[in-house]
Amino acid sequence: MLYSDHMSEQGLTKGSALLRRSVPNMKTPDGDLPINSAAVLFSGGRDSSLAACLLASAGTRVHLFTTSNGATIKADIADYRFNELRTSFPDTVVDRTIVSSVGLFKRIALEGIEADFALFKKNLIPVGDALATHTLAMQFALNRGLDAIASGYAQYESEFPEQMPEIIALTRQFVAEYGLKYLTPVATYTHRKQVKRHLLDFGISTQSLEGISIFADTFSTPSPEVVASYVLAKLPICRDYLSSASETGLYRDSHLLASSSHQKDQ
């Protein structure tokens, strides 16, 4: 299906209608923990680090999953946080994998950038980046036979379009299409201070050790309806990617940038 097939004014109306159906069910608590295994979307920041801690402390085997879209500065500082996590949870933080998301990120967020700005009137590139990351994490989880993927999305960060509750609900529905659970263990945190306090409880430093995206602070806050319409327009690209990946053996080793595990240092 062509990208242009998804881009129409009807998409905005469709986004609003889907939100009305999704919002009553969007609070899907992680009450079905413990999960045996999960890929945690890991940037090295506080929220994704705490998500890893909460899952690892519940007995989940945590596979930290990081993407590189080619537009992040000093992403390597997250290595320090990975070492902290595996020191605190030697039995449950299994490994960290870093893959390139450049190709998928470009397809979702950049190839149709002029049409996107014309239709949505907002810079939604970070949402496209998040979709690429989630899609690659799903591919990784399916290939590894994991039960879930997890993000560090938090209530106090809900002004970011990809972390709006309505968009989390759409993401959860997308992930469920592939038989995976979508966990957001930090979703109820209402303040950064709570996150810092609980990181210290787990023996983790409280600095944010994530790279800096060149797209940070380049956008104004869109409405949930606009973001939902953008997501709906882009999900077919994500589904096509996963379908193609399944036909070629799921995980594409050419995207692998680095992989670290406990066994390496033992």
- Whole-model pTM over 0.95: no
CA–CA separation, 195 and 50 (whole Å): 7
Model pLDDT, residue 18: 47
Q: Work out the mean pLDDT of the chain and round it to a whole number.
A: 84
Name the 3-class secondary structure at 184: coil
Q: Dig out the tokens for 180 from the structure.
A: 């995976």
Model pLDDT, residue 249: 56
Spell out the CATH class of 10-258: alpha beta
- Res. 73 pLDDT band, cuts 50 70 90: low
Report the share of the chain in percent with pLDDT over 70.
Answer: 77
Model pLDDT, residue 247: 66
User: Which of 187, 209, 199 shows the shortest CA–CA distance to 79?
Assistant: 209
User: Which of 237, 231, 239 shows the shortest CA–CA distance to 19?
Assistant: 231
Q: Residue 40 forms beta bridges with which residues?
A: 64, 150
CA–CA separation, 119 and 8 (whole Å): 8
For residues 178 and 79, the answer to whether their CB atoms sit within 8 Å is no
CA–CA separation, 189 and 47 (whole Å): 9
Q: Give me the residue spans of the domains in the chain.
A: 10-258
**With 50 as the cut, is the pLDDT of residue 85 above it?**
yes
- Per the model's pLDDT, the better-predicted residue between 263 and 30 turns out to be 30
